[in-house]
Amino acid sequence: MLGASGFRRLLFGHPLPTTRAERERLGWFLGIPVFAADAISSVAYATQEILLALVIAGSAALHMGLPVSVAIAALVVVVATSYMQVIRAYPEGGGAYTVAGQNLGRTAALVAAASLLIDYVLTVAVSVTAGIANLTSAIPLLRAHHVWLSLLAVALLTWLNLRGVRESAKAVLAPVFVFVGCGAGMILLGVWRVQSGTYAAPPHPTEPPVLGALTTLLILRAFASGCAALTGIEAVADGVTAFQEPRPRNARITLGILTGILAAFLLGITYLAHALGIVPHDPAEGGETVLSAVGRTVYGGGPFYYILQFSTFTILLLAANTSFAGFPQVASLLARDGYLPRQLANVGDRLVFGNGILVLGASAAVLVVVFGGSTHHLIPLYMIGVFLCFTLSQAGMFRKWLREKPKGWIVGCAINGPGALCTGVVLCVVTVAKFAQGAWITAFAIPVLVLVYRRIRLHYDRVAEQLSLEASPPPVHEQTHLVIVPVASLHRGTLEAIEYARSLGVPAQAVHVIANQAEWHALQEKWHKYEPDIPLVALPSPYRSLVEPIVQYVREQREKYGRVSVVIPEFVVSHWWEETLHNQSAIQLDLALRRIMHVSVVNFRYQLKT
């Protein structure tokens, strides 16, 4: 029969030794699907978000999509060039958190960390919902189930990453390159047909209603929405430690490749959407995605169209893999510094930060449910954190060059200074343009998370201070000690617990909470027969509580003796489901006693045979 351990091995694979850690690292080739998938896949919805913002002013305003895309592509190059400097200067990884912490101070580092973690969660939610939207564009019958399909995809990605880094990299390798191949073919074929005049224009689409004027604010909103294309660029700098040696070189190659693909695809898809007369519709409201509409027009709805749609669906799902690589890394750095629970710094038996992966998966699932699986409604939450990280990272690098003045520092300043200024301006634009549409949630969440980080660190500092051997006075050795054994009934497990208490060589007594007089009298008779030398104390319970009378009695004895140990007898049953049938009172008592000073709790387990 497959036990719990065997089921775990089947589900997640066999444990990997620490010596395998280097073999689990990635070269630049495998780094592309793991770290570049998010950025590359964002072109599947970036153009759509630009056009959805512009279409408010009617189809005549859609011509502004191409200039906006050119501006975003230029911004992609600026940000990627800046992050090349981060990778070179900080080969240990950490990205904006490390750069801001060492150059701008701890508060800036915590703001960067909060922004990073929020964006990683949003990356999973946005990538998954966008992938499902492309799937349902090709198969309309699935549209009614898009939320459940999104949750299923998040669960699948969580499981895949719990199995290990290299396994997740191999899983996303084929979909990434199939998407790149199909997308490049679509762009080249579409541009050739448009330029050569062989494209036959379809009937003019239904004119969308004009809901507003083409104002500067509307264009800025389109720009802010399209900046979703920049998400994922920072993940390479955050996860440099996941690469093989030479790590900085491999990371820079991966970042350079993804930058070129991202800029080319963004410009190509936007150009074709304009040239082919595509009018955008929100997929969450039953519309077809822009990428699907372009692909259907260029490929004619044949097999290449369905390959494009399926590869888009797959890469968008697996693009979230970037977050599953980056989120646990950043969370582990915060945990090591004492700003998140220490469990997030633990490496599991598959050489991954399993707790961080689980937290990320659960958080993304909550967002999918709350926002109804709509990519368009999730996008506004995205941008503040993304560009806040960009700005802090580049500002930190600029200060580092000025302070340290290493070789080539002038070039570094020339790259990171304008980079910080550029992303800072975009941050202001995004905040103004998207604040009322949901960006206020992120603006509120970031300072709240910073306060939480500081509160966790304060807790760890207080614990360390109280446990320190240097700062604390020598322990006071108590001269008196009492052992108490709570007894519900007398059986073999109880007798062994009494024997254990007696072996401690200090005064011992048993206590029984009287909930039933008949049971109390029966217990007294057995007690005089089997344990006459151990006092049995009766504790009345007029309100039928089993825990409170024992806790009160322990407090009284602690005042009298100075130190009390409570030995709680428990059964150990053969099967996990049988645990629910026993020991519930023991668990409650343990929880109630653990906060009382100078009271020790011993869980005495009596093994039951199968």
Radius of gyration of the chain (CA): 31
pLDDT under 50: residue ranges of the chain: 1-8, 12, 14-22
Helices (H), 139-215: 146-162, 165-196
Spell out the domain ranges in the chain.
43-461, 482-607
Residues 6 or more apart whose CB falls under 8 angstroms from that of 89 comprise 99, 397, 400
Distance CA(465)–CA(471), nearest Å, equals 7
Is the domain defined by 482-607 classed in CATH 3.40.50.720?
Answer: no
Distances (CA, A) of 375 to 10, 65, 316, 432: 34, 19, 12, 20
Give 276's DSSP letter.
Answer: T
CB 199 within 8 A of CB 49: no
- The count of C-alpha atoms lying within 13 angstroms of the C-alpha of 189, restricted to the half-sphere facing its C-beta, is 15
CATH class of 43-461: mainly alpha
Nearest to 228 by CA among 18, 39, 410: 39
What's the rounded Cα separation, in Å, for the pair 420 and 391?
A: 5
CB 108 within 8 A of CB 101: yes
What local confidence, expressed as pLDDT, does residue 2 receive? Answer: 46
pLDDT at site 110? 92
DSSP secondary structure of 92-130 = T--HHHHHHHHHT-HHHHHHHHHHHHHHHHHHHHHHHHH
Q: Are 228 and 45 in contact (CB under 8 A)?
A: yes
- The CA-based angle 220-223-229, given to 5 degrees, is 160
Q: Are 58 and 215 in contact (CB under 8 A)?
A: no
- The dihedral region occupied by 166, where left means phi > 0, alpha psi between -120 and 50, and beta the remainder, is alpha
Helix axes 290-299, 43-54, angle to 10 degrees: 110
| Peptide bond before residue 246 is cis, with ω within 30 degrees of 0 | yes
For residues 545, 549, 555 and 560, what is the CA-based torsion angle, rounded to 10 degrees?
-170
Cα 294–Cα 120–Cα 437 angle in degrees, nearest 5: 65
